Amino acid sequence: MDISLILKITGIGLLISLGCQILSKSGRDEQATLLSIAGIIIVMILIISELDGLLSLISRVFSF
């Protein structure tokens, strides 16, 4: 696991939370909800790609 993944997730979280706050204050709660769901999906895609690399490493180590 690399520190850049943690920094990417943190940056995405900050941007999404800022966008949600702006949208909520302007009365667009539905768009704020959609933005937070989009942020969760983006972070999940990043994590899934890292998990794929981890599982392939485990299978190479144990020769599956």
pLDDT at 12 > cutoff 70: yes
The SS3 of residue 36 is helix
pLDDT band at 1 (very low <50, low <70, confident <90, very high): low
pLDDT for 35 equals 96
pTM metric for this prediction = 0.79
pLDDT tens, position by position, 26-52: 999 999 999 999 999 999 999 998 999
For residue 2, give Cα distances in angstroms to 7, 12, 36: 9, 16, 25
pLDDT tens, position by position, 17-30: 999 999 999 999 99
